[in-house]
């Protein structure tokens, strides 16, 4: 479903050159919950952002359903981004907008008719357990509730891939478990492939099928969670 072929990403910070990704080869199969784990600065976020081209690989190819997304035209990229939802560590909600409007945002941008927006947003809020909070503002919600809004927004365009960037790292352990269980439900019930990055091994153990361990821009180990973590 997603294939990285010899992907590199180099940032230029003034005079400093950072090799954030250093020859990544990785395949994520349809329907998997695939975790990428590693310390801060390993390149996890850069890797994730290459799937929706929030970051563009410096060299290499990223194939999604067999298509090299780095070659997409503007219109194709717009289309592509609708099939890839993203969830962030700090939720990235618009504080001046209601919960409803936050979830509606990607649909408004996609010019979905208003009646359809209303229907879909209320279904999504129902699904994440926040239908009664539609008219609230993000400031009035707990961290876990904010992330549920973030997840509902990510699902609004009915994506086939969900990217999660440290989605539970700002949450307490109990809330983390609830959000991870929601992600699992999304994966199993909606058949959405999930690619998540985290610095927390416990997150990988709790929901991932496969894992890649990253260090300094490289994948140093990958496979099923069982195989990778049962190695002596």
Q: Which residues bind ligand ADP (CB under 6 A)?
A: 11, 13, 18, 20, 38, 40-46, 97-98, 100-101, 104, 108, 114, 117-118, 134-135
Rounded least distance, CB 143 to ligand ADP, Å: 20
Rounded least distance, CB 48 to ligand ADP, Å: 8
d(CA 121, CA 21): 36
Rounded least distance, CB 57 to ligand ADP, Å: 12
Rounded least distance, CB 129 to ligand ADP, Å: 17
44: tokens are 């996890």
230: tokens are 């049962």
d(CA 194, CA 162): 5
CB of 146 or CB of 189, closer to ligand ADP = 146
**Helix spans in 72-139 (H):** 74-82, 99-109, 114-127
For the sheet with 2-13, list strands across it: 16-28, 2-13, 59-64, 67-68
CA nearest neighbour of 99 among 54, 61, 132: 132
Rounded least distance, CB 107 to ligand ADP, Å: 8
**Residue nearest ligand ADP (C-beta atom):** 45
CB of 63 or CB of 112, closer to ligand ADP = 112
CB proximity list for 61: less than 8 A, separation 6 or greater? 3, 4, 5, 6, 7, 68, 70
177: tokens are 């478990």
195: tokens are 């690619």
Rounded least distance, CB 127 to ligand ADP, Å: 16
d(CA 29, CA 24): 16
Rounded least distance, CB 23 to ligand ADP, Å: 14
CB of 135 or CB of 140, closer to ligand ADP = 135
- Per DSSP, the chain holds a count of helices (H) and strands (E) of 8, 10
CB of 31 or CB of 118, closer to ligand ADP = 118
CB proximity list for 74: less than 8 A, separation 6 or greater? none
């Amino acid at each position: 479903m997603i294939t990285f072929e010899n992907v590199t990403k180099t940032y230029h910070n003034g005079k400093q050159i950072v090799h954030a990704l250093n020859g990544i080869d990785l395949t994520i199969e349809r329907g998997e919950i695939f975790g990428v784990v590693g310390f801060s600065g390993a390149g996890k976020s850069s890797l994730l952002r290459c799937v929706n081209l929030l970051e563009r690989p410096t060299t290499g190819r990223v194939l999604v359903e067999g298509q090299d997304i780095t070659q997409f035209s503007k219109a194709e990229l717009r289309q592509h981004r609708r099939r890839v939802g993203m969830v962030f560590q700090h939720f990235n909600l618009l504080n001046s907008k209601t919960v409803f409007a936050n979830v509606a945002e990607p649909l408004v941008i996609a010019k979905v008719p208003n009646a359809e927006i209303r229907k879909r947003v209320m279904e999504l809020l129902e699904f994440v357990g926040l239908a009664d909070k539609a008219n609230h503002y993000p400031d009035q919600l707990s961290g876990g509730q904010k992330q549920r809004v973030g997840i509902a927004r990510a699902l609004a365009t009915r994506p086939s891939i969900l990217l999660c960037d440290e989605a539970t790292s700002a949450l307490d352990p109990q809330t983390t478990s609830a959000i991870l269980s929601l992600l699992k439900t999304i994966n199993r019930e909606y058949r959405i492939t999930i690619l998540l990055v985290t610095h927390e091994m416990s997150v990988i153990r709790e929901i991932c099928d496969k894992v890649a361990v990253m260090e300094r821009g490289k994948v140093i180990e990958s496979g099923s969670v069982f195989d990778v973590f049962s190695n002596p």
